[in-house]
Amino acid sequence: MQSPRVHIAVLHIAFAAACTALLFGSATVGAQSYPRGPVRLVVPYPPGGGADTLARLVAGKMRDRLGQQVIVDNRPGGNTIIGSEYVAKQPADGQTLLYVPSSFAINPSLYKLPYSTEKDFAPIALVAQVPLLLVSNLSFPVHNVRDLIKAAKEKPGTITFSSFGTGSPSHLAGELFKYMTHTDMLHVPYKGSAPSLVDLVGGQVFISFSSIEPALALVGAGKLRPIAVTTARRVAGAPEIPTVAEAGVPGFEAAGWNGIVAPAGTPPEIVQRLGTIINEAIGSPDLSSKFAAQGVEVDLKTPQQFAAMISHEIRKWAQVVKTANIKIQ
């Protein structure tokens, strides 16, 4: 016959086992019952742009795998801050997600945000890497990265580089280049990629860290000279163009990117399921080919890897913003 003490211990173990089963059983049921109706994917840009196009491609694939509509909800304004704040305040149930560009990790260094980029969101998946292409005006006698460094050191402060806006990825790529090469070049900001490239072709500026798709089109038309891509690896759409890192600045990487996050507190099992679904979608041959047509690269990451990447990006760009003393007027 068991002693009362042994009997009580057995009851405690049974109770703990029952609680554990109930906990994990609830999590499984939660993941299986998700989503409870249409999912909203908030895009903090107007319809029709590059990020919006990619988001809609991903949303279509997510719909097929979730068995529910994935509705793209455009909420532009404030350099993506308006849409981001909206999602941060939504219920943490996976029904509202945010499509984020690389400015998501830059904004904490430039603005006083109404949310915490790291504490108020749960990273889910990296959708795409968006390479920049370092290009020059044809009349500028620079043909590679070493030529550019040499010219910038010989005439500090006189070589101009355009970007599609102060604080934009193209601007910060130029500032990172200056920082890592100990050179001084003059930044000329524009309101968008198109006017930046127009003046580059026209000779008003010497070089630009540009969106790769329109820049490659101008390279193909014989109107610009390609120097290097800003990603860690060469891009599939232009494998003959070296990276900045291999062409003379080891460790240089300044790619833009797009990803998807949820409000903080979203159940881990829902985050993991969404991460798997999104990675399956962007890894599919048809979506990969459509991404390639947009000039972007697929780079699959787990939610945990994506969270680590965002954290690294925040600190990396904070250092660049501080060193370059970048201020948003």
Residue 177 sits in a domain whose CATH number is 3.40.190.10
Structural domain for 142, as ranges = 132-229
- Structural domain includes residue 244: no
Q: Residue 39 corresponds to which amino acid?
A: V
pLDDT confidence of residue 49: 87
C-alpha separations of 129 from 98, 211, 254 in Å:
17, 12, 10
pTM (predicted TM-score): 0.87
Tally of domains in the chain: 2
Asked if residues 139 and 203 have their Cβ atoms less than 8 Å apart, the reply is yes
Q: Annotate 62-88 with b (16+ C-beta within 10 A) or e (fewer).
A: bbeebeeebebbbbeeebbbebbbbbb
Q: Which of 129, 126, 127, 128 is nearest to 304 (CA)?
A: 126
- Per residue of the chain (329 residues), what is the pLDDT tens digit? 444 443 444 344 444 444 444 444 444 445 678 999 999 999 999 999 889 999 999 999 999 999 999 999 999 999 999 999 999 999 999 999 999 999 999 999 999 999 999 999 999 999 999 999 999 999 999 999 999 999 999 999 999 999 999 999 999 999 999 999 999 999 999 998 899 999 999 999 999 999 998 999 999 999 999 999 999 999 988 999 999 999 999 999 998 999 999 999 999 999 999 999 999 999 999 998 888 888 889 999 999 999 999 999 999 999 999 999 999 87
**Are the beta carbons of 231 and 255 closer than 8 angstroms?**
yes
Residue 79 is given by DSSP the state G
Whether residue 167 sits in one domain with residue 91: no
Q: Are 208 and 182 in contact (CB under 8 A)?
A: no
Task: Tell whether 22 is covered by a domain.
Answer: no
Rounded (10°) CA dihedral 134, 140, 141, 147:
-40
For residues 144 and 211, state if they share a domain.
Answer: yes
Q: Are residues 180 and 194 in the same domain?
A: yes
12 domain-assigned: no
pLDDT for 237 equals: 85
For residue 222, tell me if it sits in a domain: yes
Of 316, 303, 312, which is closest to residue 268 (Cα–Cα)?
303
Contact in structure between 111 and 81 (CB atoms under 8 Å): yes
Residues 311 and 260 in one domain: yes
d(CA 313, CA 255): 10
**Distance from C-alpha of 101 to C-alpha of 12, rounded to nearest angstrom:** 50
- With CA atoms as reference, report the closest residue to 185 among 153, 163, 211: 153
- Is residue 152 one of the residues assigned to a domain? yes
**Alpha carbons 94 and 75: distance in angstroms, whole number:** 18
CATH of the domain at 93: 3.40.190.150
What single string gives the DSSP state of each residue in 91-150? -SSSSEEEEEETHHHHHHHHS--SS-TTTSEEEEEEEEEE-EEEEEETTS---SHHHHHH
